[in-house]
A and B are shown apart, each in its own frame.
Chain A
Amino acid sequence: MKILVAMSGGVDSSVVAGLLKSQGHEVIGVTMKLWEGANGEMPETGCCTASDSEDARKVAAKLDIPYYVMDYTESFSEDVVDNFVGMYAKGLTPNPCVECNRSVKFDHFITQAKKLKCEKVATGHYAKIIKNKNEYELHKADYLDKDQSYVLHMLTGDKLEYIDFPLGTISKPEVRQIAAELGLKTAFKKDSQDICFVGKKDYRNFVNIRIDISSSGEIVDKKGNKVGDHKGIHEFTVGQRKGLPGGQGQARYVTKIDVASKKVHIGEKKDLLVTNFLLQDVSFVNDIETNNLAVQTRYNSEDLPCTVREVIEGELEVILDTPTYGVAPGQFGVIYQGTKVIGGGRISSKVLEKTE
């Protein structure tokens, strides 16, 4: 089979290319160049550095497969970076990796693969695709520590048909071992955890230089009394504890961010408890399911048993069996039935307000 493999320069995608090649497939490696500086320079940290694509190139050379770097910077800048900045400006907590998978990576990649007459695309994500009768289902990886089905929830069955996640049944230590056996130099490379275009720097600086920060305002307590001032709502996310005034002895948290009045509301931890919330821009992998559901509200977080109710098309209300902390508007809620991903959407700030 002719397969287009996304190679980031990390160990996971290196092993994917190696495994597929050793299985006899015709493998073509591609690094998606997502981000660059103002003068076209490569980022120094994060996942899109020049040394990463250099690593990918070396792995491709070692495996003797064709390899290309493709420029995705334009759509990444519009769909991911502008969105990331805009979300903070609206008091939301963005998840750029999901945005990227949703708007940039897979769509472009599958389109290019089809043009090049490749039958599949493959990536180094930890997730499983299972064909059940005529449907392609998305499942958690066997190796749950690394499961990435959360960030892939927007992949619908018709896309999954073209995708292969060869690491779905393999553990990370096994991946490193295979890399070492294949003699790939990325075998012991550290995993990248940073947001690729921000790197190790404070994301606030990144946001600050890109938007007009005129959203300074008041910090208020539960009763609406002013307890301090802030320099801009983009510096806060719901659930944040650092950098808040007052509350001698008692921890304070951001409980709500009101974009219209520019007020940052703070309260106690119990004020963050949420039982039901709304998901917007919802997509389903195949069809909606209603039984035995659970939701993850952050990447690789706990499965919270829940029920769901479709409010209107594209909007889903999630009702948790037990209230929980840490539901941040802007992040994604992903609905599972056992290991199977049903779908997901962006957590809205709308219903959170109602539940108070």
Chain B
Amino acid sequence: MKKSEYLYLDHAATTPMREIAIKAFIDAEHEGFANSSGGHNLSRKAKNILEQSRETIAAIFNVAPNEIIFTSGGTEADNWSIKSLFNKNIDADSNLVTTNIEHEAVLASAQWIKDNDYNVTFSACLESGELDKSSFLNAINKNTIIASAMRANNETGIIQPIKELSNDVQKKNPSTLFHSDVVQAVVSDKIDFHKEGIQSAAISAHKIGGPKGVGAMFLSSEIKLPSMFHGGKQELERRAGTVNVAGIASFASALQEQQNNFDDEIMIMNKEKEEFEKIVKDNFKAKVIGESEKRLPHISNIQFEKVNSEVLMVDLDLNGLGVSRGSACASGAQKPSHVLKAMGVSKDFINNHLRFSFGWSTDLGDGKKAAKILLDSLEKIT
């Protein structure tokens, strides 16, 4: 199978870099290779590229430039927000509230807090795939330091009621920091952090066509968090380490390009996804997860009746369609998703799912092509 014939529907995992972002990386490395913290002319060029990139990104999320701190990606931002306040200066009964459908970066960070003997609530999720607001709010009390809920789920695409939730959390405890992992939501939704009551957020560049290893933390200007890394005084003393100027320039360029083409890109993703889902449902006993919910337009999680999706995924790959199954564990085996488990999908069905995710480079006709490969495989292995 030639690579060019390969149909890639795993954009939620990562997506190709946009040409303009690759060019921005190279240009920034040529003009702004110097250390942006240095005191000479070349450093000022790097610093200039850095700050322009910050302004571009800040404007897109309708926030102030100093509310954007660059990181190595979404995982770092999640770890930072969730873990850094739980240090030796806080009360022993301080607690954290999050959901049981979060991305591993949040779940594992929260587990780390729990392992350090703080009270952590992993609040439940409804069968619909939406977080259970009342169970989340019930867990908020006067000692809740952080509440964390994702803006949209990365495995089902289901959009979470963050604006209402953050508002209600604020009413219950105005001093609770509201964090949101928006990594997947940014791919196909517009977000205004302040309007949605989000005070800190994790953003990743590579999901929208930027480079891997680059991301940003949005941190509302009224919030101070202890640094995670110790070292130089970069990023206003908030994040140590020589700044990845070229990566950030590339990130800003990718994000700007996405915003410029937003409606067209979303229209194609949505059209192809809907076409794909329709053909699959018309020809096979299959259920689309969260079909009647508010979903991100690029994610389709499908349950195939009586089909083990482990073998199906292998067969699809061998026939030129790349998709994903759940989260990959250390061995590379793909485990059934914790999100589906949280939604109450029973043991008999949890191994029957695959996630198909569309992206900015999806072409018209891809949905139909993917459905054909899928139906051929299903016929073969069942």
Q: Which positions 291-332 of chain B face chain A at CB distance < 8 Å?
A: 310-311, 314-315, 317-318, 329-332
| B329 nearest in chain A by CB position | A40
B381→A69 contact, CB < 8 A: no
List chain A residues, Cβ under 8 A from B329: 36, 40, 42
Contact string, A46-71, partner B, CB cutoff 8 A, digits 1/0? 00101001000100000000101111
C-alpha spacing A40/B331, complex, angstroms:
10
List chain A residues, Cβ under 8 A from B381: 115-116
B285 beta carbon closer than 8 Å to chain A: no
Number of residues on chain A facing chain B (CB within 8 A): 20
Contact A116:B330 (CB < 8 A) given known A28-B318, A66-B317: no
Among B315, B331, B334, contact of A116 (Cβ-Cβ < 8 Å): B315
List chain B residues, Cβ under 8 A from A66: 314, 317-318
Q: Which positions 86-111 of chain B face chain A at CB distance < 8 Å?
A: none
Among A36, A40, A41, A115, contact of B311 (Cβ-Cβ < 8 Å): A115
B310→A70 contact, CB < 8 A: yes
Q: What is the distance, in angstroms, from A77's C-beta to the closest C-beta of chain B?
A: 14
List chain A residues, Cβ under 8 A from B331: 31, 33, 36, 42, 48, 50, 53, 69
B372 beta carbon closer than 8 Å to chain A: no
A50→B311 contact, CB < 8 A: no
| A33 nearest in chain B by CB position | B333
A115→B315 contact, CB < 8 A: yes
Q: What is the distance, in angstroms, from B237's C-beta to the closest C-beta of chain A?
A: 37
List chain B residues, Cβ under 8 A from A116: 311, 314-315, 318, 381
B317→A71 contact, CB < 8 A: no
C-alpha spacing A41/B335, complex, angstroms:
12
Q: Which of A57, A66, A71: most chain B CB closer than 10 A?
A: A71
Q: What is the distance, in angstroms, from A21's C-beta to the closest C-beta of chain B?
A: 15
A322 beta carbon closer than 8 Å to chain B: no
Q: What is the distance, in angstroms, from B1's C-beta to the closest C-beta of chain A?
A: 9
A112 beta carbon closer than 8 Å to chain B: yes
Chain A contact residues, majority secondary structure: mixed
C-alpha spacing A68/B310, complex, angstroms:
10
List chain B residues, Cβ under 8 A from A41: 330
List chain B residues, Cβ under 8 A from A309: none
Q: What is the distance, in angstroms, from A111's C-beta to the closest C-beta of chain B?
A: 9
Q: What is the distance, in angstroms, from B92's C-beta to the closest C-beta of chain A?
A: 25
A68→B330 contact, CB < 8 A: no
Q: How many A-B residue pairs have CB under 8 A?
A: 50
| A114 nearest in chain B by CB position | B381
Q: What is the distance, in angstroms, from A269's C-beta to the closest C-beta of chain B?
A: 45
List chain A residues, Cβ under 8 A from B230: none
A204 beta carbon closer than 8 Å to chain B: no
Among B315, B317, B333, contact of A69 (Cβ-Cβ < 8 Å): B333
Among B330, B333, B380, contact of A71 (Cβ-Cβ < 8 Å): B333
Q: What is the distance, in angstroms, from A32's C-beta to the closest C-beta of chain B?
A: 9
C-alpha spacing A27/B15, complex, angstroms:
28
A350 beta carbon closer than 8 Å to chain B: no
A200 beta carbon closer than 8 Å to chain B: no
List chain B residues, Cβ under 8 A from A40: 329, 335
List chain A residues, Cβ under 8 A from B314: 28, 66, 68, 70, 112, 116
Contact A71:B332 (CB < 8 A) given known A66-B317, A66-B318, A115-B315: no
List chain B residues, Cβ under 8 A from A112: 311, 314
A231 beta carbon closer than 8 Å to chain B: no
A117 beta carbon closer than 8 Å to chain B: yes
Among A28, A57, A71, contact of B334 (Cβ-Cβ < 8 Å): A71
List chain A residues, Cβ under 8 A from B317: 66, 68
C-alpha spacing A50/B329, complex, angstroms:
9
C-alpha spacing A115/B315, complex, angstroms:
9
B380→A117 contact, CB < 8 A: yes
B380→A69 contact, CB < 8 A: no
Contact string, B115-134, partner A, CB cutoff 8 A, digits 1/0? 00000000000000000000
C-alpha spacing A50/B333, complex, angstroms:
10
Q: What is the distance, in angstroms, from A280's C-beta to the closest C-beta of chain B?
A: 32
List chain B residues, Cβ under 8 A from A70: 310, 314, 333
C-alpha spacing A3/B317, complex, angstroms:
16
Contact string, A21-47, partner B, CB cutoff 8 A, digits 1/0? 000000010010100100011100000
Q: What is the distance, in angstroms, from A226's C-beta to the closest C-beta of chain B?
A: 48
List chain B residues, Cβ under 8 A from A117: 380
C-alpha spacing A36/B315, complex, angstroms:
25
Q: Which positions 325-382 of chain B face chain A at CB distance < 8 Å?
A: 329-335, 380-381
C-alpha spacing A33/B314, complex, angstroms:
15
| A112 nearest in chain B by CB position | B311
| B315 nearest in chain A by CB position | A116
C-alpha spacing A115/B318, complex, angstroms:
12
8 closest cross-chain pairs (CB), A and B: A69-B332, A69-B333, A50-B330, A53-B331, A115-B381, A33-B333, A71-B333, A42-B330
A28-B314, A53-B332 are known; give 20 further A-B pairs, CB within 8 A.
A31-B331, A31-B332, A36-B329, A36-B331, A40-B329, A40-B335, A41-B330, A42-B329, A42-B331, A53-B333, A57-B332, A66-B317, A69-B332, A70-B333, A71-B310, A71-B333, A112-B314, A115-B380, A115-B381, A116-B311
Q: List 27 A-B contacts (CB under 8 A).
A: A28-B318, A31-B332, A33-B331, A33-B333, A36-B329, A36-B331, A40-B329, A40-B335, A42-B331, A48-B331, A53-B331, A53-B332, A53-B333, A57-B332, A68-B317, A68-B332, A69-B331, A69-B332, A69-B333, A69-B334, A71-B310, A71-B334, A71-B335, A115-B311, A115-B315, A116-B311, A116-B314
